[in-house]
Each structure stands twice: as C-alpha cells, then as structure tokens.
Amino acid sequence: MKNNIFIWYPKCSTCQKAKKWLENNQVKFQERHIVDEVPTEKELKEWIQKGKYPIKKFFNTSGLKYKELNLKEKLLTMKEEEQIKLLASNGMLIKRPILVSEDIILVGFKEKEWEEAFKTK
C-alpha cells in the first residue's frame, strides 16, 4: 500500500498516537497539516463516497469551533452539499486524524480499526 496521506493536527494527542502507530507498524505516509492544508470540497466528497463513514463522522464534534457554531442543531437541517462546504471552510471542524490511501479512508484513530485496515497485530 503506497501513497498514504496522514492528515493531522500536530497538537492533537490522538493524532500523535496515530502517527506513532503508523511509524511503529512501518506504514509509509506523507504528513498533511489539517489547518495549513484544509481538505477541499472535492477531496471530502471523494472520501465520504469512498469511505464507510457517514458525513457526520467527519465533523470534529468535540471541537470548540463545532460548539461555537452550534452545529449539533444546524447539521440536522443542512444538506450534504452544505455540510461538505462547511467542512472545507475550516480544518478545525474536521475530525482528525484522517488516513487516506487508494483503498482506505480512516477517520479518527481507533487502533483495532487501523490494525484491521493494515492487517497488523
């Protein structure tokens, strides 16, 4: 598996754990800072279609920006198109880390899920 893109926020402890996991399991990857290089609408659309997660899973529901914008309520009435546009507007709204490769999209870090995706133990 090549061309793994690890999208993260360096100050996030979960992202740090995920990065360490990738390194410990010899998974090659390119780093991408989620705030400096916010995923585009096109990328998000592709990941949502390709992945196994609902769009809600892409939102950083514990983030300050999410709470500040009262998105728990607003998302209920927003169309998917609007949600994607909103996600692409601010990297801090996006759940992290995200690992993207040709055949895998992982959102958030759950070690068992990553082990399964990479068939490691």
pLDDT in tens, 49-87: 998 899 999 999 999 999 999 999 999 999 999 999 999
Task: Supply the pLDDT for residue 95.
Answer: 97
Q: Name residue 80's amino acid.
A: E
| Alpha helix (H) residue ranges in the chain | 13-24, 41-50, 64-68, 71-74, 80-89, 111-118
Give all domains of the chain, ordered by start, each with its CATH number.
Answer: 5-118 (3.40.30.10)
Predicted local distance difference test score (pLDDT) of residue 16: 98
> How many percent of the chain have pLDDT more than 70?
97
The pLDDT of residue 3 is 85
Q: Would you say residue 1 has pLDDT above 60?
A: no
